[in-house]
Structure 1
Amino acid sequence: MSHLFLILTLLLAVSLSSSEVVELTSKTFGAVNKEGDWLLKFYAPWCGHCKRLEPTYNEVSERLKDSKTKVGKIDGSSERSLAAIFSITGFPSLFYVAPDGQTVYKYKGSRTAEALVGYVQDGYKSDEALSFWSGPFGIVGQCKWFLLWLGSFMFTLHEYLDKTLGMGPVPAGIFCVVGGMFVTAAAVVGMTVATAPDLKRD
């Protein structure tokens, strides 16, 4: 009897985990454009509309558990770099990332389970995608992410140089500014090379 109970418990755990909404952070967000299509929700813990949407969103995840679509959520109040590249202006905000991992649609329809499931299954095809260049995975979106990351990194570096190594606030600040300019210039060159057209000579 105890073995049967254990087996049933394990089966229940597997069932629940397969339909669980994935909490994404800046460290795990890379999976979004590598692992097929995603339905994404940006939320904030204090947002009343987000709390009311949560049961519906969990139901959507349950309905899609046997499909290839993954369902994720992002705390936009703490993951500000991700909120910036998606140009989040309010919560909750819903997006669908197509199977190519690059094409993004902003969902503006009814927030019912039926409507959301229908959208990711076929409805997005009649909608207009966000511009790639200004979208989350385009040049503008990546520049936003880089600048926010650089600012956070330089702040941490300044604290380390000043407080831990005892360099002093002014020398540490100068070091960070010069270093930031160098890193930014290198990033601009890298982006220019990466996006330059491949010119072939006849």
Structure 2
Amino acid sequence: MKVFILVVASLVGVYASGDVLEYTDSNFEDLIKQHEVALVKFYAPWCGHCKRMAPEYDRAATKLLRNDPPIALVKVDCTTEKSVCDKFGVKGFPTLKIFRNGAAAQDYDGPREADGIVKYMRGQSGPSSREIKTVADFEKFTGGDDNVVLGFFESESKLKDSFLKVADTERDRFSFGHSSNPDVLKKAGYSDDIVVYTPKKLHNKFDTNEFKYDGNYDTDKIKNFLVHETVGLAGIRTQGNLFQFEQKPLVVVYYNVDYVKDPKGSNYWRNRVLKVAQDYKRKVQFAVSNKEEFSQEIEQNGLGERKDSDKPIVAILTNEGKFPLDDEFSIDNLKSFVELVLSGKAEAYMKSEPVPEQTEDVKVAVGKNFKDLILDSGKDVLIEFYAPWCGHCKSLAPKYDELASKLKNEDVIIAKMDATANDVPPLFEVRGFPTLFWLPKNSKSNPVPYNGGREVKDFINFIAKHSTDGLKGFNRDGKKVKKTEL
């Protein structure tokens, strides 16, 4: 009886809600050794980021528990378990680390949502490509809930070598397996082929259930196939696979996509999207996404007022902008809207401040005046994308004002745009602040990132050298033009 009591006591605090394991100072060192691979989340209950991540972590734990081999997801509360958190240098929350056989192997730098965590951690476990030795293995591997990539090879070949190289580099994104077993090849009906299998829950009458690679052994072509040609006519777009939906035009249909709790409802709406998508093969990419998972994107795409609709809501993303569908979702309305956007007659949605009066030398661009002020100005433009709270932007402001004053009589516009209050046009990639671009007046479709110095003379030197027609007050080398006396 005493032994039984000790065993039960040792398990107290091990199991958290769901399938996440919760370890403490007293048991962490002993229990973490039991896992070949484990992901540990060091957190604080009051942390907002931790609270937002918690349900995603729980969902990922359930999926990874069924992995072969299982992968453990663990959490440690650093407000009570201070010793273990100090040992691993936890200074912020959440901190995630990957452990191998009890030792901290590396920091986790992958996605923070369920599907992304699952894919990333599956890539950390075992070989990059699992060998499928029997028909039973094959059926189990292809019978799961996610797409899987299988290589079938009768013998050694260049395609097999390339397949395994791709598996090594893409294991965080896809699940790979390979087989040379004659029974498996016969069952599958392939030899010296690479095939992507979709899970049964996603099968439909519009798509193939298997995507076969038809290229050679070029690894880049194999990667391109996996990324761009294996999601079907209307793929399930999640935060974990956004890299597969970067081609534009992209039609995103948002609704309560949930193939665990409501597969029938998820398929009901997706089939209607597929019916439209079949008419636009290789012209337009379609996707369906969960409304809750993409709530922030829905707001950014101008659909905030419609997010509580019982029917799907739609946005089309193009290189020209974002186009929200105002009408109620239906097959006919979706098709008509796609045609309208493709014709160039639709008006893009753009978050914008009111158009200001231009009273200063630095011109103020907002969403609504960007085309007229910047793109159609007929002048060279230097534009700064900034954030009001950015310290570097505040330091640059007086220098930028001085630059604009010095060049106010030149054929150049010095402009700025608050990138937090206005949508940045798709032409520009802004990942930090301040970000500056140079736009020659005859080549506005190819903005040039400005990476030079931030002093006034640095800007003048750059503009003088790159201005389309030269400056009146400065030579090409940035020196002031000397006035000749009469």
Q: Report the TM-score, using the length of structure 1 for normalisation.
A: 0.49
RCO comparison, higher one (Cα < 8 Å, 6+): 1
From the two aligned structures, give the one with the greater helix fraction: 1
From the two aligned structures, give the one with the greater strand fraction: 2
Which structure has the bigger radius of gyration? 2
Q: Report the TM-score, using the length of structure 2 for normalisation.
A: 0.21
